[in-house]
Chain A
C-alpha cells in the first residue's frame, strides 16, 4: 500500500477492567472505503469513536495524513461523522443543519449558501432546504446527515451504522448512494456495520472484528472466499460445516461419514486421527455431478423449500446436513424428501477451519 492516509497503530481501549479493543492495527489508503464488520460488542464502534476523538485510546496511536491525532479533541480533527440516530439538530432547518459546520468554521454567508446548495444537489434533495428534520423520512434525514458531515470537506468520513435504523429497501438504495458519493468525492471512509451484505457490497476492504480484535482484513472477495479464521467463515455468508477425521495426513485424506475426501495441501499440521471442521459455501455445492467438481458425497434429501426461482435443498450426510440452492427448472420436478442424492464440489472450495 502507498503511504496510508489513516493509520491505527496498536490501539487498545479499556473501560475499567474490561478491555474492549485489543492491539488493533489498520492502515487505510487515501480515498479507500473500509468497513468494520462484526457482531454487537466486538469493539468496532469503539475504534470508530477513537478515530473521531470521542474516546481516548488506552494505548497506541492514530495518525491521519502523517499527523498524530490521538490526543486531539473531536472539534480539532476535521473529521466528518454520520450517526446511526441521524443526530440532526431539531431546531435547525435542513439548510442550517448542513451549514452548521461551515458557520462554526467562520465561513461567509454567501459561501455557506453556495456550499449548502451544492450538498443538497449531491444528495438529490434540493427542494428540502427549508424543512425541519421532523418533516423528513428516515432516509431523507440520513442523507441530510451525510451532507452535513461532508459539507466542511473533512479529511476523513466516519459512518457509524448509518443504515441500521432504515427499512430494507431504503437501506439498499442509500448504501449505493453513499458509495457513489464517496467515490465521487474521493474521501477516505470508515463504515461500521454488523450487516455482512452491506459490508461486502460497498467496501474496498473489510476488517472483520471479534472480541476487540481484527480477525481478518481483506477485500470482500478474500473475506468471503478465503476466511482466515473459523469466526470469519461463520460470520460472513452462509456456511456448511462438516465434521471429518484425518485418515492419512500425508496424502491429505479426510473421512466424512465413511466417505473419503482428498484435501491436498490444506491440512497444515494435522495428524492422522485428528478431527477437523470442513466448510463449504452453498454455492460451491451441486446436486449430482457437475463438470469441474472432483469430490462427491452421498446422502439423503432432508428438506426441500421451493422459493420460486430458487429451490433450497438440505441434504443429510451422516450426522451432517449440507444446504445448497439450485435454480428452478420448469421441466424437472424438485427433489423429494427421503430420496438418495449425491452432492458434488471441488475440493479446492473446501475450507479447513482452524
Chain B
C-alpha cells in the first residue's frame, strides 16, 4: 500500500515537472531582458506596444461576437435535439466534431473560394464582411467545445418535463428558452464561452489568411523577430487562459441548483 502511494507521488511529481519546468523556464527567460538582473522589461514593452493593445482588443471583440453567435446557434439547436430529435444526436455530435479533424487552413481556403468578391455572398469584398466571416470561422472552430458544454448542461436537467411545465403555464418558446432553459444551463454556456474565448485569443491560421489584425498573427510576428517579448507574450496568453478557467470555476458556484444536484 505504502509503496503504491510512493509511486503515485513519483508519477505526480514527474507530470508536474513536465508541466511546470518549461513554464518556469519561460518565465525566467522572459525576465532576463535587462542584462545581469531580473526585470519585467519585456512585459512592459509588450503591454506598452500599441499593436499589442490593438490586436488584443480586436481579438477580444471577435471572441465576444463568436460567443454570441455560438450561443445563438448551439443553445437552441442542442435544446431542440434533446427535446424533439434525440435520434439525430449522434449525427450532430459527429458534425460538431468535424472542426477538430478538418484543419483550419482547409476551412479558411474553402471560405476564400466560396465567399470571394465574385461570389453571391461576397463576405471578402469588405472589411466588415471579412470580420464577419472570421467570426463565423471562429464559431465553427469553437463548435465542438460549445456544443459539448451546452449538451452536458442540458443533460443535468429534465429538459422535456421543464419545457412541458412551462408550456402548460402558458409560456411560448421564447420564454421557455430565455427563462427556463438558458438560466439552468448558464454555467455550461459560460464554460463553452470561456473555451471559445481561449481559442479565439490564440487563433492564428484563419486571422492570418483572412489578413485580419488579430492577436494570433501578432504573437507569431513578435515570436519571429524578437527574443524576450515572445516569452512574455506566451506567459500573458497563458495567464489569460488560466484566468478564463478560474472564472468558470468561480461562476459555477453561483449556478442554479436542482434537487438532483444540490451542491
Contact = CB atoms under 8 A, between A and B. Distances in A.
Give 8 closest A-B pairs by Cβ, nearest first.
Answer: A91-B256, A101-B169, A90-B258, A87-B165, A91-B183, A74-B167, A87-B161, A104-B170
B53 to A, nearest CB: 38
A104 B175 contact: yes
A104 B171 contact: yes
A134 B170 contact: no
Given A91-B184, A101-B170, A104-B169, A86 B259 contact: yes
Interface of B: 157-158, 161-162, 164-172, 175, 180, 183-184, 256-259, 261-262
27 contacts: A52-B164, A53-B168, A75-B167, A75-B171, A75-B172, A77-B168, A78-B170, A81-B165, A83-B161, A83-B164, A85-B158, A85-B161, A87-B164, A87-B165, A88-B165, A89-B162, A89-B184, A90-B157, A100-B166, A101-B169, A104-B175, A133-B258, A134-B259, A134-B262, A136-B259, A141-B259, A152-B169
A281 to B, nearest CB: 39
Contacts of B171: 75, 100, 104
A5 interface: no
B175 A80 contact: no
Contacts of B262: 134
A54 B164 contact: yes
B64 to A, nearest CB: 24
A186 to B, nearest CB: 20
A91 B256 CA distance: 5
Given A87-B162, A89-B165, A75 B170 contact: yes
Contacts of B258: 90, 133-134
A104 B178 CA distance: 12
A145 B184 CA distance: 18
Interface residues of A, number: 32
A148 B169 contact: yes
Contact of A90 (B167, B170, B172, B257): B257
Contacts of A74: 164, 167-168
Among B161, B165, B261, B262, the most chain A Cβ lie within 10 Å of the Cβ of B165
A240 to B, nearest CB: 41
A90 B168 contact: no
Interface in A185-203: none
A105 interface: yes
A75 B180 contact: no
A89 B158 CA distance: 10
Interface in A137-152: 141, 145, 148-149, 152
B257 A134 contact: yes
A86 B165 CA distance: 9
A79 interface: yes
A110 to B, nearest CB: 20
Given A54-B164, A74-B164, A134-B258, A90 B169 contact: no
Given A74-B168, A104-B171, A132 B257 contact: yes
B257 A87 contact: no
A80 B172 CA distance: 16
A53 to B, nearest CB: 8
A157 to B, nearest CB: 11
Given A85-B161, A136-B259, A148-B169, 4 more contacts: A91-B183, A91-B256, A104-B170, A141-B259
A89 B169 CA distance: 12
A80 B169 CA distance: 7
Nearest to B186: A91
A36 B168 CA distance: 20
Interface string A16-41: 00000000000000000000000000
A88 B259 CA distance: 9
- Pick from A53, A83, A105 the residue with the most CB of B within 10 Å: A83
A152 B166 CA distance: 13
Interface string A49-83: 00011100000000000000000011101111101
B184 A75 contact: no
Contacts of B168: 52-53, 74-75, 77, 79-81, 149
A294 to B, nearest CB: 54
Given A87-B162, A90-B259, A91-B184, A152 B157 contact: no
Contact of B165 (A78, A83, A105, A141): A83
Nearest to A145: B165
B1 to A, nearest CB: 39
Contacts of B180: 89, 91
Contact of A87 (B158, B183, B261): B158
B259 A133 contact: yes
A223 to B, nearest CB: 29
Contacts of B167: 53-54, 73-75
A79 B261 CA distance: 30
Contacts of A152: 169-170
A78 B170 CA distance: 7
Nearest to A141: B259
Nearest to B256: A91
Contacts of A148: 165, 169
A215 to B, nearest CB: 28
A126 B175 CA distance: 27
